Structure 1
Amino acid sequence: MARHLSEFVDILEPRRNEFSNFMWASREVNLLLPNRQIKPVAPDSHKVNVFNSPRIQLLIERIAQEQGVSKAHVEDQVRLILDEIGFKMSLTLIRWLGIFLAKFTCRACSSIYVNQESLNRVKSQLGNTPTVFVPSHRSYADFILMSYVLFSFDMEIPAIAAGMDFHGMLGMATVLRNTGAFFMRRIYNNDVLYWDTFRQYVHDLVTHGDSGIEFFIEGTRSRSCKSLPPKYGLLFMILRAFITGEVPDILFVPINISYDRVMEEKLFAFELLGVPKPKESTSGFFKALTIVNENFGNIYFEFGDPISVKQFLGSKLKRLQHGMRPVHSQELLDEEKAEITHLAENIVHCQQKLAVITTFNLIAVVLTNSLTMNQNIMRFEQLVVETMWLKSILAMCGAVVDFDYARKNIKAALDVHKNLIHMDADSNITLVQNAIVLSGLKESKAKLKGHDLSENTMTVAVPFVMLQIYVNPTLHYLINHSMVVAIITNASEPIVEENLFEEFKFLRTLFANDFFNLNQHLHIDLLGSLKILKDLNAIKEEAGVYVISDNKKVLQLLTHLLEPFLYSYFVICSLLNNLSSPTFEEKAILAKIQEKLEEMINSREEFVHPYVLSLDSISMCLLSLVNLSVLKKSRVSGAYKYEINSDALFGLTTQIKKYVQHKKTLRAQITSVLKNKL
């Protein structure tokens, strides 16, 4: 179904125009429950159900016997765990938070747009089925704003999976718990009692809950603002009730939250460069409220059609095999987990398709393309022309773009991002580079995740990384085209579709963690890219052979989008080729890679995009090398170690090399390594 911005409504407009936000927040509401029960379900009843469940009672007896302690002692531990986990729900507190959020967002945001048409389609399917809301995760504001949106449309706030980062925040933990948050530890340390109690708690939310569940399938905020590969742990817990036949179906609602400006943008840039994130605290939260004086532009909520697990998995599951044992002793089988991973991947894919590309996303791509060509100043009128051109390309690729009034939209976006982009009185646009002092950011060198980058490097890199954060949401629509262009441009001989497909498959596999895509769509995606590139006159087909065509502007743009990732992957592989030992520790190699890339950036012989320093991208490369059996990863004494498959690494390095433009720094520093290997 085609999506249009006309379907979005601004939920802040009525809040700004009404006499009192208190009247709105205290209105009489009959909140829509996703899975209405015969009797209302009190939040504390879930803890009672879990404690009395056969699974937990048998576990209590077993642990008491194994540890030689009393059953009452283990029961007390279970109660403490349930108190740590369990959520509450106070409508009074929700109303007061509604007032606070109405006032806060009206000051800090221009608009919060919600696709009312898509939300109404979701609401029409709720009422009789366990429902799971699955938003994208780009900011801590996501779950707070989700609750605000649901309350605005008279929907019950779900039980929200929250990390333990918030549990230690004095006062805030209580507020979050009373507005639906249930807390989960990220690390269980083989604590079977906690693990099974938490799993049973989630199970009870599915089988007996009426308010639905909300969790972030990516597991954590994406600091890069790209889609992360899904995590499966909580999903397995949720789906156990369906697999064992305790519920007839479960609905998953994919949701995309798109931001004009992410509130943590600068912190994300520092984290990507290796500076540890500050510990969450209540005092830090109140200090952060000073952002109310800044402008964060628009926020967009788009709801996808609910995905029925029953329809998605269908006959792929053989649920009868679970009828041989009591329900409480059932576990998911490996083949069931494999099918569930496909569901998780489809949810993330739906989130990607629901994105709204903002005006500043366009500006970020245009400016990055210009900066890559060492054009550090752009005129406003040129920016208008380039962004209009880019919008037309993204529209061809199926993106919904909020860019109807070019000059007005661009000026508004530049005002929102004046901390990053400066326009002077002569309408010259430049990237802001403020000197960065690291003394207050680096708590200690031991806590750094990578190399101790210099203040000069950080001053250069931070604004580039911040800008790339806004480029990344567009890559879902453009990266496949970039790969095709890279293949055809660097082919040593004219390439036919069969060979093109093999190279496309290689690049998609190589960058599978950096750019999330569905593997089963591989051939469809290639054909779609070929069609669009032909329509753009970027490539052409002659007698079954694909060659570059006349639209150099598009070719240049697509080349520059992929270049930092190809460059960093090649440098990483080349560096690993030159290590004296076939084994290395993760932290040491992250620092070594960053150090080498810093040297290349500071050599100034040619432009190297500072985003290559991103630890996120470096880590994704190492993960890809593990998946390709180039590296073998293990954990020894709490530290991750890697072992190199030298032959596979050299072969991969040679394969990537042909995609990297012949940069002087690479020829000088890396080619000798490959010659020695040969």
Structure 2
Amino acid sequence: MTNSLSRWVNILRWPVRFLVRSKLVPKDPCAELNIDRHKPIVYVLKTESLTDLVALERICKSLKLPLPTQPLQLGERKIPRYFCVQGRVPVFGKNNDANKFINRFSELINFLRQPEQQDVQIVPVALFWGRKPGREDDTVKAAVIADEQASWLRKIMMVLFLGRDNFVRFSQPISMVELIASRSSDERIAHKLSRLARFHFHRQAQTMLGPKLLYRNSLDQRLMKSPALQVAMQEYAQQKNLSDDQVKAEVSKLVDEIAANYSERLLRIGDRVLTWLWNKLYKGINISNAERVRQLAQDGEEIIFVPCHRSHMDYLLLSYVIYRQGMVPPHIAAGINLSFWPAGPIFRRGGAFFMRRTFKGNKLYAAVFREYLHQLFNNGYSVKYFTEGGRSRTGRLLSPKTGMIAMTVQGALRGIERPITLVPVYLGYDHVMEVGTYHSELKGKSKEKESVGQVVKTLRKLKNFGRGYVNFGQPISLNKHLDNEVPQWHESINPMEQQKPSWLTPTVNSLANKVMVNINNAAAVTAITLSALVVLGVERRVIAKSTLEAQLDLYLKLLRQARYSADITIPELSGKELLAHAIELKKFTVSEDDLGQVISLDISSAVTMTYYRNNILHLFALPSLIAASFVYHGVKTREQLDNVIEQLYPLLKNELFIGLSQQELATYVDDILLSLTALELISDSDGQYTIMTAHKPQLMILAQHIQETLERYAIVLKIMQKKPHIERSALNNDSHALAKRLSNIHGINAPEFFDKQVLSSFISELKEQGYIDHDDSHLPKVDQLVETVSGLLLPNVLATIKVSLN
């Protein structure tokens, strides 16, 4: 750096220090992007700008990375530590330094070709001042906040107005050794690197800023001109005997009811407000696998976020995380119940568009909504919707509502050019604010309507609720899914009309199930969920603190050794540390006797904690089933164990959205058995399994986690056995009544234990698996399943079921 530049850098450090608050993307680039602090680093910036350089310097200092303002020492030579693909922009005229940095790249490449020189990491870094995408039909570019090719004078204005909205986006490092391995000339490689860098920065700008926005009148015009909607409008006019103007007026009202009114300014304000809110509510937000989504956005994919739905906080949390991860917050499909004032207008400006609970009976509304969604897809806006339809009241994933997924597939059949990718997202909380009302609703209390009063009531309860968890699951390419399921799907593409091919429903159902499986595959194991699992699995919900800590340690080892999925997150803590965190959140009662401390849950707290246990129940379904097979069923060999799993896995797979193929299932069972052996819960002698007496209590606790599920199965199956020709509706009612009795007698606190929807889903799956025939009569293989399930239950519970049916 020349003396002149160094002097200007020194001058700019003070104003940048006070005016600029940079936000890092990703938050820990060294860990997430594998940037090696010990290898030489050269930064690549888009435009030569001293302000950008000083802002980057402050970030690098906080990350303990080499400063871009300090030269890189390679052997006896010093070279600049940063390169720019575009020269500094003058206040007037054009930049004439097009070849300046090509020459510098060439010099670096030539120098690194010397055998004794070590590798250098090229790290692209993009800096954004604000996140304004502009509007598609703007005729005059904003003079202050447009970041494209900003001169030093405009940069000063940007720092003044947008200094607190500066985003610094690091990218994956590039090895110079790999670049220069080709036989091309130095200048040719430099040109190639420059082109790649320009394209890279262009894609990053698209990812960060998103497509240009449409004014509402422009959106209305596009919708009205849509051939598909015009057909629906003509049919509606004929059906209702209305004029074209009357239909257009009705369509305009529907658009007003549905459409978002996206505002970048509100997002900037919301960023500050939500940062305050999360700091008030939570001790932090754990985020996993965000880089895979950033890469999808940078690759130009049309991204559909499909999260699970735990709380109203989901709307805010996921959009906030996406914004902070350097992507454009998606447009959000929200229930019409959330459009009340003042929340509705605010949500609309945050990207929410509203939908009615049902489209039945209003073809025009359905056509307008589908066309609006298609316009979002077609114009490159990412979208978020909840496949469960509503919030889970039990903590388990609900059966998916397939309407939005069907419209997404139909959108692909309209011929959208960009590939569509669904990104499942697991959302979790150490504390869900609505969990108390959920249990009231499950007991029959009417759902309280959303209102201003509810918001005020919620705000008065703000306190520290532990941590939030956002895990991005394995993305699902819609195009590849259709290629696998329906190779001929391209034949159904029609940009003019909505398509409903015969394969649509089964394909949508399989896609929806895959989404739910991938959400569960990205579950977050937490102090609360794991502690709740253990305490609810012991008699009377009371356990010695030392025993609980040991069981937590056992489960952490089991989760790591028998990995359910590569995407689940497991805390890097001990059982003692996890329990301390759970106790700090006041979820458990801690008492003391002569022998030490005891952890317990009263009846009310136990009901609440079932919600958190259910978040991760699917992770322990098979380990618990295997433990129960050893403890209660007397399984001794792998063949006997495989027989139990073969009968019950298809039912558990459907209920808990477990997505293991037969080969994956066999491998997973192998891993569980190896882990149980390594943890000395069982011994394996030439394929003969024996319970280790010293650790049998721990194995018995593990066996308890599947008991409530098996008890529910036994209730339904025993009724079917006693009444072979019972109708499905009567079977559901009788099962519900018996489940409530069992819950009262044996103190089963889980509200979903006797939930009619859960029972109905199980009965439907029995029919799907061939246990019930077309006239609702049960088939002979039910008896074998009853025998297997009965052998896995506690004797006293089984006795209660038998007595109640006599």
What's the TM-score bracket when you normalise by the shorter of the two chains? 0.7 to 0.9
Matching residue within 32, 52, 56 for 2:229: 56
Mapped pair 1:509 → 2:650 = yes
What SS does structure 2 have at the residue aligned with 1:401?
Answer: coil
Q: Deviations over 1:612-652 (max 9, x none)?
A: 66444x422222212323999xxxxxxxxx98535579648
Question: Counterparts of 2:728 and 2:620 in 1: how far apart (Å)?
Answer: 35
User: Which residue, 448, 466, 475 being the options, matches 2:608?
Assistant: 466
Q: Does 1:628 align with 2:763?
A: no
* Correspondence for 2:81: none
Mean Cα deviation higher: 134-143 or 171-180: 134-143
Report the equivalent of 2:570: 401
Of 177-186 and 123-132, more deviation after overlay is shown by 123-132
Normalising by the residue count of structure 2, what TM-score does the alignment of the two structures yield? 0.67
Separation in structure 2 between the aligned mates of residue 124 and residue 673 of structure 1, nearest angstrom: 58
Deviating more after overlay: 487-496 vs 593-602: 487-496
Q: Look up the SS of the partner of 2:440 in the other structure.
A: helix
Which residue of 2 is the match for residue 345 of structure 1? 513
Letter of the 1:464 counterpart: A
Q: 1:554 to 1:573 in 2, by over 3 A?
A: same
Q: 1:254 to 1:70 in 2, by over 3 A?
A: same
> Cα RMSD over matched residues?
3.8
For residue 437 of structure 1, what is the aligned residue in structure 2? none
Question: How much does 1:496 deviate?
Answer: 5.5
In structure 1, the residue matched to 2:141 is none
**For 1:178-193, what aligned pairs fall within 5 Å after superposition?**
178-193=349-364
1:200 deviates by 1.6
Partner of 1:80 in structure 2?
Answer: 253
Q: Distance in 1 between matches of 2:576 and 2:671?
A: 31
From the superposition, tell whether residues 658 and 180 of structure 1 become closer, same or farther in structure 2 (CA, over 3 Å): same
The residue aligned with 1:207 is: 378
SS where residue 349 of structure 1 aligns?
A: helix
Change (3 A) 1:314 1:663: same
In the TM superposition, residue 162 of structure 1 has moved relative to its aligned partner by 0.5
Q: Distance in 1 between matches of 2:626 and 2:249?
A: 60
Structure 2 SS opposite 1:277: coil
**Aligned-residue identity in percent:** 22
Q: Partner of 1:379 in structure 2?
A: 544
Alignment partner, residue 356 of structure 1? 524
Distance 1:296 1:7, change over 3 A: farther
Superposed, which structure 2 residues align to 1:288-367 within 5 Å? Answer: 288-292=458-462, 294-304=463-473, 306-314=475-483, 316-322=486-492, 326-367=494-535
Paired with 2:274 and 2:210, the residues of 1 have a C-alpha distance of 30
In the aligned structure 2, how far is the partner of 1:500 from the partner of 1:176? 52
Shift of 1:144: 0.4
Change in CA separation of 1:505 and 1:620 when aligned onto 2, cut-off 3 Å: farther
CA-CA distance at 1:581 after TM superposition: 9.4
1:421 aligned partner: 588
> Which residue matches 1:535?
675
Distance 1:521 1:295 in 2: 41
Letter in 2 for 1:87: A
Distance 2:371 2:230 in 1: 11
Which of 134, 151, 163 is the matching residue for 2:323? 151
- Write the distance in 1 (CA, Å) between the matches of 2:748 and 2:804: 23
Residue 407 of structure 2 aligns with an amino acid whose one-letter code is M
Q: Summarize the Cα distance change of 1:662–1:392 in structure 2 as closer, same or farther, 3 Å threshold.
A: closer
- Following superposition, the deviation at residue 280 of structure 1 comes to 1.5
* Deviations, residues 498-535 of structure 1 (Å, cap 9, x unaligned): x75454243123334431122x6134213312332233
| Secondary structure of the structure 1 residue equivalent to 2:247 | helix
The answer as to 2:700 corresponding to 1:560 is no
1:37 and 1:154 map into 2 onto residues whose CA distance is 10
2:459 maps to a residue whose letter is L
Say if 2:442 and 2:751, in contact at 8 Å, map to a contact too: no
1:97 aligns with 2:265: no
AA at the equivalent of 1:99: R
Shift of the alpha carbon at 1:363? 1.2
Aligned match for 2:620, one of 465, 474, 478: 478
For residues 493 and 601 of structure 1, do their structure 2 counterparts lie closer, same or farther at Cα, with a shift above 3 Å needed? closer
- Secondary structure in structure 2 of the residue aligned to 1:126: helix
Gaps of 5+ in 1: 434-459, 633-641
Q: Secondary structure of the residue that 2:416 maps to in structure 1? A: coil
Deviation at 1:547, TM superposition (A): 6.7
Verify the 8 A CA contact 1:421 1:429 in the aligned structure 2: no
Contact 1:229 1:516 in 2 (8 A): no
Separation in structure 1 between the aligned mates of residue 487 and residue 623 of structure 2, nearest angstrom: 36
Shift of 1:26: 5.2
SS in 2 for 1:256: strand
Do the aligned partners of residues 391 and 55 (structure 1) sit closer, same or farther apart at CA in structure 2, a change above 3 Å counting?
A: same
Q: Deviations over 1:353-377 (max 9, x none)?
A: 222211122211221222xx34x54
Structure 2 gap segments, 5+ residues each: 1-27, 34-58, 63-159, 169-203
Letter aligned with residue 565 of structure 1: T
Contact 1:34 1:212 (C-alpha < 8 Å) held by counterparts: no
Give the Cα separation in 1 of the matches to 2:530 and 2:546.
Answer: 15
* Paired residue secondary structure (1:382): helix
Cα drift, residue 479 of structure 1 = 0.7
1:227 corresponds in structure 2 to 397
Amino acid at match of 1:629: K
1:300-327 Cα offsets, whole Å, 9 max, x none, are 222345433334443643244236xx52
8 Å contact from structure 2 (residues 592, 598) kept in 1:
no
Query: Pairwise mapping of residues 594-609 of structure 1 onto structure 2 (< 5 A)?
Result: 595-603=737-745, 607-609=746-748
Instruction: Identify the residue that residue 162 of structure 1 maps to in structure 2.
Output: 334
Partners of 1:5 and 1:557 in 2: how far apart?
Answer: 41
Distance change (3 Å), C-alpha of 1:310 and 1:25: farther
- For 2:628 and 2:592, the matched residues in 1 are separated by 39
CA distance in 2, matches of 1:102, 1:227: 28
Contact 1:485 1:559 in 2 (8 A): yes
Structure 1 residues 351, 403: closer, same or farther in 2, change over 3 A? same
Q: Tell me by how many angstroms 1:86 deviates.
A: 0.5
Task: Measure how far apart 1:199 and its partner are.
Answer: 1.4
Structure 1 residue 58 displacement after superposition: 1.2
* Counterpart residue number, 1:658: 790
> What is the count of residue pairs matched by the alignment?
605
Partner amino acid, structure 1, of 2:675: D
| Shift in alpha-carbon separation, 1:409–1:670, aligned structure 2, 3 A | closer
Q: Is the 8 A contact 1:223 1:272 kept in 2?
A: yes
Shift in Å, 1:328:
1.8
Q: Which has the higher contact order (CA 8 A, sep 6+)?
A: 1
Equivalent residue, structure 1, for 2:238: 65
Shift of 1:560: 0.3
The more displaced of 248-257 and 484-493 is: 484-493
Instruction: Report deviation, 1:224.
Output: 2.3
Q: Are 1:261 and 1:297, in contact at CA under 8 Å, matched by a contact in 2?
A: yes
Q: Residue 610 of structure 1 aligns to which amino acid in structure 2?
A: N
The one-letter amino acid paired with 1:89 is: Y
Is the contact made by 1:566 and 1:656 (CA closer than 8 Å) also made in structure 2?
Answer: no
Question: Is this contact kept in 2: 1:47–1:201, CA < 8 A?
Answer: no
Aligned-partner Cα distance in 1 for 2:665–2:570: 21
- In 1, Cα distance between the equivalents of 2:383 and 2:637? 49
Contact 2:524 2:569 survives alignment (8 Å): yes
